[in-house]
């Protein structure tokens, strides 16, 4: 059986210092155009996921994270296409001015599940954002057929398990 191609992305969700608001960005072009999401993208060669996360945040909305925390991982498979593996980070410690960029239009939302524009987010968002907002660490697995989620599973994990997954992803990215 052929091993599916895996594409790696990061995504980071900035919170305000009180953790009552989250910053989302509306994608202005490319994959997910018109949809609201956290800020992220593909790692450059030689980058760890943590490094990718900080660079993408600055490129996409102008702020520099002092600290990012991994809170979950999205493992997304598609019966017809490549797998996407997407570690999810949050940050409440950053500097700089939030700015609209060529790729993203940023906007603050209340950090509650009811306040999010799920109908203008990726299909799977409504399935994992409530877990992320609850503060639990998670591993979410999705099987897609194109835009349709065929099935999914969200596992609550501890920090040690999540770190192991991130270490494995970093080793694959760095080729070690
Ligand atoms: N379902 C789905 N498909 C694709 N991407 C995502 C999802 N759900 C998500 O949350 N995401 C995230 C993962 C990334 O944070 C972005 C997509 O990154 P993208 O902007 O395409 O990456 P770049 O490295 O900037 O790529 P270029 O467009 O510059 O080539 O959405």
Rounded to two decimals, the pTM is 0.96
Residue 6: per-residue pLDDT: 95
* pLDDT bracket for residue 2 (50, 70, 90): low
Expressed in angstroms and rounded, the spacing between residue 9 Cα and the centre of ligand 1 is 6
- Name the least confident of 2-11, 31-40, 70-79: 2-11
Q: Which structural domains are found in the chain, ordered by start?
A: 6-174 (3.90.79.10)
Mean of per-residue pLDDT scores for the chain? 96
Asked if residue 7 has its Cβ within 6 Å of ligand 1, the reply is no
Tell me if 9 CB under 6 Å of ligand 1: yes
CA distances from 169 to 8, 75, 141, 151 (A): 9, 11, 15, 23
Q: How far apart are CA 52 and CA 162, in angstroms?
A: 18
* Tens-digit pLDDT profile for residues 131-153: 999 999 999 999 999 889 999 99
**Cβ atoms 8, 173 nearer than 8 A:** yes
Rounded to an integer, what distance in angstroms lies between the CA atom of residue 44 and that of residue 83? 18
**Which ligand 1 atom is the nearest neighbour of the CA of 144?**
1
Phi, psi of 83 (to 5 degrees): -85, 145
pLDDT at 39 > cutoff 70: yes
């Amino acid at each position: 059986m052929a091993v599916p191609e895996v594409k790696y992305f990061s995504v980071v969700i900035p919170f305000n210092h009180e953790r009552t608001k989250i910053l989302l960005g509306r994608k202005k072009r490319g994959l997910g155009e018109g949809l609201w999401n956290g800020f992220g993208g593909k790692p450059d060669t030689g980058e760890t996921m943590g490094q990718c996360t900080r660079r993408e945040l600055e490129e996409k909305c102008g702020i520099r994270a002092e600290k990012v925390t991994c809170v979950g991982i999205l493992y997304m498979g598609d019966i017809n296409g490549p797998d996407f593996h997407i570690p999810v980070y949050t940050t409440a410690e950053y500097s700089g001015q939030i700015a609209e960029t060529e790729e993203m239009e940023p906007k603050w939302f209340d950090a509650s599940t009811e306040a999010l524009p799920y109908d203008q987010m990726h299909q799977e968002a409504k399935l994992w954002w409530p877990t992320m907002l609850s503060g639990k660490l998670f591993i979410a697995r999705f099987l897609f057929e194109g835009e349709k989620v065929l099935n999914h599973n969200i596992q609550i994990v501890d920090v040690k398990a999540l770190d192991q997954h991130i270490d494995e992803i970093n080793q694959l990215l760095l080729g070690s």
